[in-house]
Amino acid sequence: MPTTLLDLILPRECGGCARVDASWCPACAGALDVAPGPVRPRVDPGVPCWALGPYAGPHRASILAMKERGRRDLAAPLGVALAAAVTRLRDAGEIDPPELSPLVLVPAPSRRRAARARGGDPILRTCRRVARVLASEDVRVEPLLRVDSRVRDSVGLTADERADNLRGRVHVRRAGIAAIGRGPVLLVDDVVTTGTTAAESVAALRRSGVGVDAVLVLAAVR
Q: Which residues bind Zn ion (CB under 5 A)?
A: 14, 16-17, 25, 28
Asked if 189 and 78 count as a contact pair (C-beta separation under 8 A), the reply is: no
Comparing CB distances to Zn ion, the nearer of 59 and 162 is 59
Read out DSSP for 186-217? EEEEEEESSSHHHHHHHHHHHHTT----EEEE
CA-nearest of 68, 73, 39, 76 to 55 is 39
**Minimum gap (Å) between residue 133 Cβ and Zn ion:** 20
Comparing CB distances to Zn ion, the nearer of 76 and 203 is 76
**Minimum gap (Å) between residue 71 Cβ and Zn ion:** 12
3-state helix, strand, coil in the chain (%, to 5): 40, 15, 45
Comparing CB distances to Zn ion, the nearer of 27 and 159 is 27
**Minimum gap (Å) between residue 35 Cβ and Zn ion:** 20
Comparing CB distances to Zn ion, the nearer of 30 and 211 is 30
**Minimum gap (Å) between residue 62 Cβ and Zn ion:** 9
Comparing CB distances to Zn ion, the nearer of 28 and 127 is 28
**Minimum gap (Å) between residue 76 Cβ and Zn ion:** 14
Please, what sign has the CA dihedral across residues 30, 105, 206, 199?
positive
Taking the C-alpha atoms of residue 76 and residue 127, their distance in angstroms, rounded to an integer, is: 10
Sheet with strand 103-107: strands edge to edge: 37-38, 49-51, 214-220, 185-192, 103-107, 139-141
